[in-house]
Amino acid sequence: MLWDIIIEATNSSFKTVTQIAIIVFPIMMVLRIARETQVLTKVSNYFEPLTKRIYLSKEATFPLIVGIVFGLTYGAGVLVQAAKEGHLTTRDMLLINVFLGLNHAVFEDTFIFGAIGANSWVLFMTRTLLAVAVTYIVGRWLVSREKGHTSLSESS
C-alpha cells in the first residue's frame, strides 16, 4: 500500500507541476515585459473613466491596475507608496482593498486554474464582475455616509 501511495503521488505531482509550468513560463515572461516597459502607467489612464464610476479617485487607478495584474503583495507596495505621497483618500484605500481582495494577480491565477481544468473565461468574468459590483456597492455606501455626515455637521 505504501508503495502504491508513493507511485501515485509522484505521478500526480509530476503531471500537475508540468501542466502548470507550461502555463507559468509564458505568463511570467509577459508580466516581466509589462513591468520593465512600465506599460501599466499608460494603460491605467484608459481605465480612469471606469474607476471613477466605482467611486475611486484618479490617483487610485494606477495602484489598482498594478494589483490586478501583478498581485496583492506588489500592489500593496505601490498602494502604500501612493498613500505616503498623500494622493489617496481614506475611501480610496478601503475601496482598492475591497477590489484587490477579491481580484488580484488575475492572469496568473486564471491561467493556472484553466490548466487544471476550470473554464477560465467563466472564472475570470465572475471574479471581475463581482469585484466591480461589490466595490461599487461599498463605494456608494461610503459616499452616502460621507454626505450624511457633512449635512449633519452643517445643520448643527
Partner 1 sequence: MDLRRVIKLGIKDGVETTWELAKVIVPVFFVITFFKHTPVIGWMVTMFEPITLLLGLPGEATMPIVIANALTVYPAIPAITSFSFTTKEITIIGTMILLCHSLPVETMIARKSGANGLFILIVRVLAAILAGIILNLFMGG
Mutual orientation of helices 90-102 and 72-84 as an angle, nearest 10°? 170
CB of 154 to partner 1, least distance (A): 27
The residue (of 4 and 85) whose beta carbon lies closer to partner 1 is 4
Instruction: Output the smallest distance, CB 119 to partner 1, in A.
Output: 5
- Compute, in degrees rounded to 10, the torsion defined by CA atoms 128, 132, 134, 140: 180
Quote the radius of gyration of the chain (alpha carbons, Å).
20
CB of 58 to partner 1, least distance (A): 18
The residue (of 28 and 151) whose beta carbon lies closer to partner 1 is: 28
Q: Give the interface with partner 1 as residue ranges (CB under 8 A).
A: 1, 4-6, 8-9, 12-13, 15-17, 20-21, 24-25, 28-33, 36-37, 72-73, 76, 79-80, 83, 90, 93-94, 96-98, 101-103, 108-110, 112-113, 116-119, 122-123, 126-127, 130-131, 134, 138
- Please, what is the minimum distance in Å from the beta carbon of residue 75 to partner 1? 8
